[in-house]
Amino acid sequence: MSDFNMDFEIRDTIVIVRLSGYLGDESGALFLAEAKKYIDKGFTQFVFNLQNVPVINSLGLSNLLTLALEIVDYNDGDFALCNCSKLIESALRMTGIGSLGSFCLTEAEAIAAVSN
């Protein structure tokens, strides 16, 4: 299991989150808690860059879905996922997260998607 890191950048009204490493039990819970802090501050537009996430387990998927619901359903926000491997994108699509946000190839496309 690789180390897990999160980088949060605020660009105008968008929170860009760059994750790296294994998104699993503890890392997923940590990620969820940290991202919710930005929601609590009033941010409702998020970009999740998963370029450096090689593996995501069921609890990591669950935490991402929980966060997506928090952003969209409870805060009328928007999010986009970008740079997902085919395996991770497939797993995320099975959760139904695609009906809540957007899948984009690049971070720039994801920023544009949530800016509209």
Domain map of the chain by residue range? Answer: 5-115
Model pLDDT for residues 5-34, shown as the tens digit of each residue: 999 999 999 999 999 999 999 999 999 999
Domain 5-115 of CATH type 3.40.605.10: no
pLDDT at 1 over 70: no
Model pLDDT for residues 42-70, shown as the tens digit of each residue: 999 999 999 999 999 999 999 999 999 99
Cα dihedral sign, 82-7-16-75: positive
Cα dihedral sign, 40-71-18-54: positive
pLDDT at 116 over 80: no
